[in-house]
Chain A
Amino acid sequence: MSPLVFANNAPTLAERCKDAAGIALIALLLGIPMIGLTTADQGGSLQVLTRWPLLGAFVAAAFCGRLALRYGLDMLKQRRQTRDREAAARPGKRGVRSIRILELTGWLAFGIALVLPILFSDNRYVVDTATTVLIYVMLGWGLNVVVGLAGLLDLGHAAFYAVGAYAYALLSTQFGWGFWTALPVAGLTAAVFGLALGWPSLRLRGDYLAIVTLGFGEIIRVVLTNWTDLSGGPNGISSIPRPTFFGLPFVPSSDTGTFASFFGLEFSPMHRIIFLYYVILLLSLLTNVLVKRLRRLPIGRAWEAMREDEIACKALGMNITNVKLSAFALGAMLGGVAGVFFAARQGFISPESFTFNESAIILAIVVLGGMGSQLGVVLASVVLVLLPELGRDFAEYRMLLFGAAMILIMVWRPGGILSHREPTLRHQPAGEQA
């Protein structure tokens, strides 16, 4: 039935070896200056040291790895061809089912997030890590508005994260504001910075916008590092007050009553950890609901329309300026709120926490997760936070593995982990149920 001819010309062993030998040669050339040779300080001047056995092992690994990879890929290709031929015979509808599965996964993830601190109430490490994951989820959702929905490439999201964190740190240490009162103010401050960044970049597209946002992020960081009177410079701001439970602090004892004494519990530092976890869970769920609702409002649809085709939007009379600025402001505000939480949780902030690497990780979360996908952001945050955590046993290699994983995930799924892009609104012909 199919007019296609499936040609199968399996390479011979000699061809495979030749291919692998080529790769081994490249590995040798790459390895000589970095693995084979190194310099070390000996007696006041540099000396060259050699590591030929290590280089040999590296080249051998490249040779074997290439053989195995090539063989595996060929097998996979063959299997896929047979499967495709079989699948062509009987058409099925997979699209609708996968959406149902995604929805179920979302609820499942929500359920797990809800009971996690109860299950691990005596394991501080697990709850702490989960809180970090949720901070990144929140940052990812904020950036998702700008990058995923509005299609504006932002490489400086850490700037808004920093603005939120510093706004809370200053409001609380200088003026004695509480967490909950400072939260909206710091969020709005970040939104104002979002507008300040959005306004000059209105005319820019794509990569020009990317470099301007990158520059903006660096400007904020450099100013925070050097304006010592305001930000404490490289030393940062310490002893930032922790959030309280409706005025009840999480401390062993206090004359106005504490969380533990009010509820008649024995004091435990875990109370604060778990409370913080639920605060960030609440904040990120609010973010999720907000973004989900906004996507169905005219403004959300305008973002997605602008992402797909800016010229068409202009031709239809949309005010591109407002659409872009609102995306920047909302994304920045969400980033700022995450920053407030970060400052309150750490109790100490410094410009070190808001480098370009941070922006890159947040962007990686959005893109790896599948642009515009809310659940994808959660999955990518879990992967990117847990990966370095799992690698803690071989600590020196963890960032190396992190970089390699970013490349591999992209090569494996260029559209992100959840690349399925579902239109937010679907045209339903009359008399048909979704």
Chain B
Amino acid sequence: MALALQQLINGLTLGAVYGLIAIGYTMVYGIIGMINFAHGDIYMVSAFIAVTGFTLLTAFGVTSVPFALLVVLIVAVLFTSVYGWAVERLAYRPLRGSTRLAPLISAIGMSIFLQNMVQLTQGARVKPIPPMITGGIDVLTTDGFTARLSYSQILIVLVTVALLAAFTWLITRTSFGRQQRACEQDRTMTALLGIDVDRTISLTFMLGASLAAVAGVMVTMYYGVVDFYIGFVAGIKAFTAAVLGGIGSLPGAMLGGLIIGLIEAFWSNYLSAEYKDVATFSILILVLMFRPSGLLGRPEVEKV
């Protein structure tokens, strides 16, 4: 019982992180209809910024953990959104309006580029940082096993919920959100109505990148290790989450992330840790066989 509860807690934490990254995929897909393959690497870049930030703050003698976290979050979001902007400007904007596969290939190229850039400039070694938030609450003890809800897990889930609420508000209530949704539906018509489509798309990339940045900082704080390869795995999982939830749907991305996080946590504990990726992808394939547009996605209407 306690073991299952522990897996539930771990799965939800992991799922929240996947969900944050998945929102970036889903928003970009919604607005320009392409898989931003470099998104996982944007997340990795932000994790490295977080490592540098935390180390720098420690060197300056900052001991207050909430202050350090807040500063690093803001700095990481700022720098990472510049990365998001630059990726769109360099690799995707010149290819807008060409074949569907061209931006996919340049996205894969961008992903390889970012991975190797970080490997060159920051080193190929794993970067460890000391744990920042220790302690937690013992929730339940059965059969000599104690399920523990750590403070960092609480923080991750709280931040995710807050961000999700803020984002839902941003997309459904603000004028930027209206512009963004208008661009999703019909870019030409939106441009005719006097909305700067290029700006809206750039902002979408920056927002997606800043969510990935939050995920990157959270993961750095939670696991305490970062290397240049984490972006690929997390990116694929998050994209799977976005597709599972129905690509283009914000709550879908979060739901997909949670499902994938839970599957991974339970599968690796009860069945086999080696095959957890097989489980994730098998379930993805099964869901798509029976619901090709994902769990919360609108079925695509094909027009002749």
Task: Give residues in A with beta carbon < 8 Å to B.
Answer: 26, 29-30, 32-35, 37-41, 45-48, 147, 153, 200-201, 203-208, 210-212, 214-216, 218-219, 222-223, 225-226, 311-312, 356-357, 360, 363-364, 367-368, 371, 396-397, 399-400, 402-407, 410-411, 414-415
Contacts and interface: CB of A to CB of B under 8 A. Distances in A.
B239 A403 contact: no
Contacts of A48: 52, 55-56, 59
A415 B98 contact: yes
B158 interface: no
B99 A371 contact: yes
A396 B98 CA distance: 33
Interface residues of B, number: 71
Interface of B: 29, 35, 45, 48-49, 51-52, 55-56, 59, 79, 82-83, 85-86, 90-91, 94-95, 98-106, 108-118, 120-123, 125, 127-130, 232, 236, 239-240, 243, 247, 272, 274-275, 277-278, 280-282, 284-285, 288-289, 292-293, 300, 302, 304
CB-based closest 6 A-B pairs: A406-B109, A403-B113, A215-B281, A403-B112, A414-B98, A410-B106
Contacts of A415: 98-99, 102
Given A215-B281, A364-B105, 19 more contacts: A34-B117, A37-B52, A38-B123, A39-B127, A40-B123, A46-B51, A48-B55, A48-B59, A205-B292, A210-B104, A212-B285, A215-B284, A222-B274, A403-B113, A404-B113, A405-B109, A406-B106, A407-B91, A410-B105
A39 B277 contact: no
B126 to A, nearest CB: 10
B110 A400 contact: no
Nearest to A360: B108
Given A26-B82, A211-B239, A223-B278, A153 B52 contact: no
Contacts of A363: 105, 108
A30 B82 contact: yes
Contacts of A312: 304
A38 B85 CA distance: 22
18 contacts: A32-B79, A33-B48, A34-B117, A46-B128, A47-B59, A204-B292, A207-B29, A207-B243, A210-B104, A212-B288, A215-B240, A367-B101, A368-B105, A400-B117, A402-B112, A403-B112, A407-B110, A410-B91
B43 to A, nearest CB: 14
Contact of B111 (A35, A46, A205, A403): A403
Contact of A403 (B52, B116, B243, B275): B116
Given A41-B125, A367-B105, A406-B108, A219 B288 contact: no
Contacts, number: 182
B120 A216 contact: no
A134 to B, nearest CB: 22
Contacts of A216: 281, 285
A149 to B, nearest CB: 14
A204 B110 contact: no
A243 to B, nearest CB: 33
A404 B79 contact: no
Which of B100, B105, B118, B284 is packed against the most chain A CB atoms within 10 Å? B105
Contacts of A357: 112
Nearest to A228: B274
A218 B274 CA distance: 12
Contacts of B281: 215-216, 218-219
Given A203-B292, A216-B285, A30 B83 contact: yes
Nearest to B122: A38
A418 B99 CA distance: 14
Contacts of B86: 26, 30
B50 to A, nearest CB: 10
